[in-house]
Amino acid sequence: MLPNRPISPSTLSVKDLLWQVAWSKDKCTLCGRCTSVCPVSAIELGVFRKRTLNTDLASAAPPSNVYQVYHGIRQKTDPAYACVGCAMCNLVCPNDAIVPMHSDEADKQRFHINRGGSPRSRGGRRNVPGGILDQIKFIRISMLTDPALDAGRHEFELRTLLGRVLPPEENIKFFKENGWIPPVREIYPLVIGSMSFGALSPNMWEGLQLGVAYLNEELGMPVRMCTGEGGCPPRLLRSRFLKYTILQIASGYFGWDEIIHALPEMKEDPCAIEIKYGQGAKPGDGGLLMWHKVNKLIAAIRGVPTGVSLPSPPTHQTKYSIEEAVAKMIQSMYMAWGFRVPVYPKISGTSTAMAVLNNLTRNQYAAGLAIDGEDGGTGAAYNVSMDHMGHPIATNIRDAYLNLAKLGKQNEIPLFAGGGVGKNGNLAANAAALIMLGASGVQIGKYVMQAAAGCLGSESDRCNICNIGQCPKGITSQDPRLYRRLDVDMVAERVVDLFLSFDTELKKIVAPLGRSTTLPIGMSDALGISDYHAAERLSIKYVV
Amino acid sequence: MCRLFAITSKTPLSPMVAMEAMDIMREGHDGSGVGLFLRDLSGPFEEMKEAPILSGIFTEAGIKRLDRFMMDLGFMTKYKISIKVPKVPLPGTPRRDVYLIRAYEYPEGWEALPFQELGRRLLNIRLQLRTMGEKEEDMIVFSFWPDVIMIKEIGDPMKVAHHLNLDRKELHARVIMAQGRQNTNYAINLYACHPFFIEGYATMTNGENTAFVPIREYLLSRNVLGYTGYQSDSEVFTHILHYTLNRLGLGIEAYKHIITPLQDKDLTAHPNGAFLKQLKHSCRQLTIDGPNCVIGCLPDHSLFMVQDRKKLRPGVVGGKPGCWAFSSEICGLDAAIPDRDKSKDFQPMHLDTTMVGPDRQEVKICSQTAPLALPH
C-alpha cells in the first residue's frame, strides 16, 4: 500500500481476509492458469518492485543497490473479490505454486460483505461443522442369542414406503370393497433431494438422472430423485424415466406450466409430487435463483424472461393458511394424476412441525412429510438465514415419529429427513441414525454434489458461491464454459458408486443389529449417545 | 435360547409329558424358568368347560384382596386346585404362598352375554388384577379364561414340576404348551415368561426379536385392550396373532404373511399378490426380524408352528393321528411320542405354517406361496 493511499473503512489487508493465497515465486511459471480459473477474480497478475542490496565484503567496491521488477500473483483485498478458498488455482497449477490458506483467526472481511446495504448471500450449508448425528452410535449388537447377520451374503430388503399407508383394518376393507387405496411407492430409503434444474447445471442434472436410471434399470435399486422447484426438462417429462422422478411444486410454481402441458403426453406417472413449503437452509424463505443463472434454457423451462432473479415467495400466495394450502394443494395434485401419484409436503425443520404433522394425520391424502433440518444446503440464500435460522433435524424427526406413534399412525405417514445428512462424510451412519429415530428415509443434496461431482463447498466457508453461477466445478453454473468441465457420464458413475457404497455401509450397520427383512424404522433401542441431555431428549440410551 | 414343546392329544396327558421333553432338551435352555399352558382340560374341569379359570401366583394378602375383588364383581368360586407348596423351598425359586388355579361361576346374567363381550370382560378383569398385583406385589396373574390353565415359575422346569407336584390328575389336558426359559436381556420377571395368552390365543417363541421396539410401539398404539406388558420381546407374537385373527379377521395362514411377508418375486407370482402387497405395506410395522420359531394355540385348540424368514430356529413337528407334538428339538419329540413314524417328521422352513387342527388327525402344511383363503 502506498503511504498516500487513503484508508477507507473497508480497506483490508490480506491478513484480514478469510482465505489467504499463498504463492511461491520459486515454483511459479507465470503460466496464468490460476488467474484465469479463479471464479471470483481474487488473484491477478502482479508486478512487484524489489530492491536488491549488493554488499560484497570481499571486494573493496562500495555497497550498491538495484531496483528490480518481477512478476507474480497478487491477491485482491477488496471484499468484493475476496478469495473463497475453492483452491481451483491449486488444482490447475502445474507446479503447486499456489494454494489458499484458511485464516488462523476470525476474518475481518465478514464485516464488509454488505456493500450497498445488501447482506451476504451465498450457497452451501450452515457454516457450522460437526453435528449430533455423528455422535450417535449403534449399540445393540446382536450377540449369542440372536447372532449378527452377514452383511455381505445375507438377503436384505432395505426399501421404504412413500405414500399414505392405510391402517390394516381399513386397507383390508377397501381392498375387499374395491375402494380407493392411496398410491404407495416402494423406494430406496436414500433419496436425492430437491435440487432444481437451474440451481444445478444441465450436465450435473443429466448426470444425476443418468445415474438414477442406471441404479433402477441395471441394478434394481429403486432410487428416486426430486426435481426441486425448477420444472423438469420436457423430454424427461415425456419419457419412461419420469417414474424415477419426484416432481416438486413450490411457491414460485416455476416449470409447472410445462409440466401441466406435458400431462397428456406422459408415458409414466412420476414417483410422487413434493409440495415445498420450506427448506432447511433458509427456513421461511422462498427459493432463489439469482439472475446470473437464468439463461435462455432455464428461462424457457421455468417460463420466465432471461436474466432476472427468481425469488419464490416464502409461502404459497394463493393460500390463506397452511392447513388450507396443504389440503387444497394435495387434493389438486392428486387430481392431476388421477389419484395415482402420492403427494406430500416438505417443510423446513421447525418447532411447529408437530402442528403441521398433526394436520396431515387428519388429511387422508397426505402421503408423507419431509422435514429439512437446519444443516440443509441451498443454491442461494442470505447468510443469516443459513447460519442462524432453522431447527436441527434429529429432534424434529424424533418428535414427529413419537407423535405419530402416540396416534398410532407411525406406519401411515412416512417421514423423510433431510438437512446435513452425511455432512461430515458419514452418510450411512447418519441415515441409519435418522431411520432408527423414526425416519422412513432420508434426502440428500449437498452430499451428492460433493460425492458425485466434486463440489468444493464446506462448512468452513469454502467456496459456497453456488448462487452466482461461477461454480468452478460446473455443478451449479449455467455457463457452458464452466459446466462443460463436468462430464455427465462420470457424474452418473459416481452417483452409482455413492449408492452402492451407501448400500453396503447400511447393511454393515443393520446386519450386526440383526435386522435385514425390513428397514429398522424407529428401532431406537439400537441407538446410544454419550451426551446425557441429547439421550434424554431423543429417548435413546445414554452410554459412556 | 428357549426350548419349546407343545403337544395335542386325543387322550388327556399329564403336564409331565411336556416337562420330560423339556428336560431332554435341557442343553438348549438354562433352566432359568418354565411356562406351562394347559387347554382342553380333563379331570374336574372337563365338566366346567364354560367356567373361567384364573391362574396365577398370590401371597396370602393377595388372595384376600382377590377374593374381595371377585366377590364384589359377583364371581363365585366353583372349583379350585390347591398346589401345596413344600416347606423346603427350591433353591433359586422364590418362596410363594399360593399357586392359584381357580374356576369361577360367572356373575348373574353374564352367561347370557355374547362370548365376545364375555371375553372382553374376562380380559379386563385379568388386566385389573395384574395392575393391582403390580402395585402391591401380591398377585401375578397369567390367564383368566375358560378351559385354560397357566403355570409359570422361575427355576429348572423339571425341578419346578416336581416341587409343585404337577403330575396330578386334575392337571391333565389335551393341549399342552411348555417353555423352558433362558433368561436373556430382560429381568427375571414372570410376566416375561412365555407362553403368553390373550383372549384364547397363546404363543411361545424361541429366539430374539430384533424388531421388538417398533413392533411394541405399534401394538401399544393400536388401542386394543390387553396389548400391554411386553416385558418380553416374545409377547408381541401373541398379540400379532390376536391382531391378525381377531382384529383383521384373517386366518392363521395369514399370520406368517404379516410377520414375515413375501419378497417381490414371490409376491408377484402369488395368486393373492395384490392383497398381500397391501397387507405387507399396512402391517409393515409388524414385520418381525427374528430369528424366531413360534408355536401357538388358537381358540379352536389348533396348534401351529411358524419360522422366521432368515435364521430358522430349530423346530420339528411329528406324531401320529390322535397325538402330535411340536418341539424345538427331535429329542424332545422322541421323548414324548417315541412310537411315531419318524420319517414323517417335518421341520417347517421359512415359508411354512404347520398346523394340527382340533381333530388331531394330520399335520397340515401351508406354504406362504399357496393361495390364501380371504375373508368374504
d(CA B104, CA B55): 11
| β-pairing verdict for A64-75 and A343-348 | unpaired
Q: How high is the ipTM of this complex?
A: 0.94
Q: How many CA atoms lie less than 13 Å away from A218 in the CB half-sphere?
A: 10
Domain segments of chain A: what residues?
Answer: 14-109, 133-159+187-347+354-542
The whole-number pLDDT of residue A396 equals: 98
* Helix segments in A26-149, DSSP class H: 33-37, 88-92
Which residue's entry shows cell 438437512? A419
Give the H/E segment covering residue A323: helix A322-336
pLDDT of residue A7: 87
CATH 3.30.70, applies to A14-109? yes
Looking at residue A322, its pLDDT comes to: 63
C-alpha cell at A516: 435385514
Comparing CA positions, the residue from A185, A259, A266 lying closest to residue A441 is: A185
pLDDT at B90: 87
Q: What would you measure as the largest C-alpha separation in chain A, in angstroms?
A: 113
Domain ranges of chain B: 3-49+147-367
Lookup: cell for B106: 360367572
| Average pLDDT value for residue range A260-267 | 96
Chain A partners within 8 Å of B279 (Cβ): 168, 171-172
Q: Which CATH architecture has domain B3-49+147-367?
A: 4-Layer Sandwich (3.60)
State the nearest Cα–Cα gap between A134 and chain B, in angstroms: 23
pLDDT of residue B370: 95
Q: What pLDDT is attached to residue B2?
A: 81
Evaluate the omega torsion of the peptide bond into residue B195 and state whether it is cis, within 30 degrees of 0.
Answer: yes
- B184 falls in which pLDDT band (50, 70, 90)? low
Are A129 and A459 contacting, i.e. CB atoms less than 8 angstroms apart? yes
Probe site for chain B from A181, A406, A518 (most B CB atoms < 10 A)? A518
Q: State yes or no: pLDDT of B186 exceeds 80.
A: no
Number of A–B residue contacts, CB under 8 Å: 111
Chain A positions in Cβ-Cβ contact with residue B213 (cut-off 8 Å): 522-525
Q: Which residues of B297-328 are buried (b: 16+ CB within 10 A; e: fewer)?
A: bbbebbbbbbbbbbbbbbbbbbbeeebbbbbb
Give the mean pLDDT of chain B. Answer: 93
Mean pLDDT computed over B338-363: 96
Q: What is the pLDDT of residue A318?
A: 67
Nearest by CB to residue B278, choosing from A181, A521, A522, is A181
- Give residue B376's pLDDT: 55
Nearest CA in chain B to A147: B291
The C-alpha cell at A164 is 399414505
Lowest mean pLDDT among A41-45, B85-89, B286-290, B297-301: B85-89
Q: How far apart are CA A273 and CA A164, in angstroms?
A: 13
Query: A276 CB contacts (<8 Å, ≥6 apart)?
Result: A194, A229, A248, A249, A250, A251, A287, A345, A346
A179 touches chain B (CB under 8 A): no
Q: All 3 cell numbers of residue A510?
A: 443393520
Among partner residues A408, A409, A518, which is closest to B287 by beta-carbon distance? A518
Percent of chain A with pLDDT over 70: 98
Strongest mean pLDDT among A111-115, A375-379, A528-532, B369-373: A528-532
For residues A99 and A462, give the distance between their C-alpha atoms in angstroms, rounded to a whole number: 13
Superfamily for A133-159+187-347+354-542?
Answer: Aldolase class I (3.20.20.70)
Q: Which residue of A has its CA nearest to B282?
A: A168
Residues whose CB is less than 8 angstroms from the CB of residue A332 and which lie 6 or more positions away in sequence, other chains included: none
pLDDT, one tens digit per residue, over B34-89 is 999 999 999 899 999 999 999 999 999 999 999 999 999 999 999 999 787 888 88
Ranges of beta strands (E only) in A31-128 are 43-54, 64-75, 98-102, 121-124
For the four alpha carbons of A353, A354, A356 and A361, in that order, the dihedral sign comes to positive
With contacts defined as CB-CB under 8 Å, which chain B residues touch A410? 214, 217-218, 221, 285
A142 interface with B at CB cutoff 8 Å: yes
What's the gap in Å between the CA of B177 and the closest CA on chain A?
Answer: 22
Q: Tell me whether A415 touches chain B (CB under 8 Å).
A: no
Cα separation values, B201 from B36, B152, B196, B239, Å: 14, 17, 8, 8
Of the candidates B277, B289, B359, B306, the one whose C-alpha atom is nearest the C-alpha of residue A161 is B277
Instruction: Give the pLDDT of residue B375.
Output: 61
CB–CB of A524 and B207 under 8 A? no
A512 Cβ contact partners less than 8 Å away, ≥ 6 residues apart? A138, A141, A142, A148, A149, A151
In 3D, which of B289, B70, B104, B279 has the Cα closest to residue A140? B289
* pLDDT (mean) for A402-428: 97
CB–CB contact B263 A516 (8 Å): no
pLDDT given for residue B207 in this prediction:
85
> Does residue B207 sit at the A interface (CB-CB below 8 Å)?
yes
State pTM to two decimals: 0.95
Q: Which of residues 312-371 of B touch A (CB under 8 A)?
A: none
Could you tell me if A124 lies within 8 Å of chain B, comparing CB atoms?
no
How close, in Å, is residue B52 to chain A by CA atoms? 30
Strands (E), A139-278: 160-163, 184-187, 190-192, 225-226, 245-249, 272-276
pLDDT one-digit tens code per residue, B220-274: 999 999 999 999 899 999 999 999 999 999 999 999 999 999 998 999 999 999 9
- Cβ atoms of A262 and A242 within 8 Å: the answer is no
Predicted local distance difference test score (pLDDT) of residue A2: 66
CB contact at 8 A, B307 and B293: yes
- Alpha carbon separation from A462 to A122, A127, A380 (Å, rounded): 11, 9, 15
Please indicate whether, in this complex, the C-beta atoms of B281 and A514 are within 8 angstroms of each other: no
Residue A195 has pLDDT above 70, yes or no: yes
Position B185 scores a pLDDT of 46
Q: Which of A221-225, A326-330, A375-379, B208-212 has the highest mean pLDDT?
A: A221-225
What is the SS3 assignment for A70?
strand
d(CA B74, CA B303): 34
Q: State the pLDDT confidence band at A502, using cuts at 50, 70 and 90.
A: very high
User: Which of B244, B250, B284 is the best residue to mutate to test the A interface, defined by the most A CB atoms within 10 Å of its own CB?
Assistant: B284
Confidence (pLDDT) at A194: 94
Out of A50-59, A437-446, B156-165, the most confident range is: A437-446
A358 and A268 Cβ atoms separated by less than 8 Å:
no
Span A129-140, average pLDDT? 95
pLDDT (average), residues B284-308: 95
Under 8 Å between Cβ of A518 and A157: yes
Residue contact B222–A408, C-beta within 8 A: yes
Q: What is the mean pLDDT of residues A1-30?
A: 90
User: Residue B207 and residue A410: Cβ atoms within 8 Å?
Assistant: no
Domain A14-109 and domain A133-159+187-347+354-542, same fold? Reply is no
**Three-state secondary structure call for residue A217:** helix
Residue numbers in B near A367 (CB within 8 A): none
Strands (E), B61-134: 76-83, 98-105
For the ranges A94-103, A442-451, B20-29, the lowest mean pLDDT is seen at B20-29
CA distance A175 to B157: 47
pLDDT at A149: 85
**Both ends of chain A: CA-CA distance in Å?**
56
Residue B48, min C-alpha distance to chain A (Å): 36
B303-307 β-sheet, strand order: B196-198, B201-206, B293-297, B303-307, B352-356, B363-367
d(CA A534, CA A130): 15
Average pLDDT over residues B328-341: 95
In this structure, of A210-224, A298-312, A370-384, B325-339, the range with the lowest mean pLDDT score is A298-312
Average pLDDT over residues A372-394: 95
What is the bridge-based pairing of β-strands B98-105 and B76-83? antiparallel
The closest alpha carbon to B93, from B45, B155, B179, belongs to B155
Cα B296 from Cα B9, distance rounded (Å)? 15
- Residue A126: pLDDT above 50? yes
Is residue A451 pLDDT above 80, yes or no?
A: yes
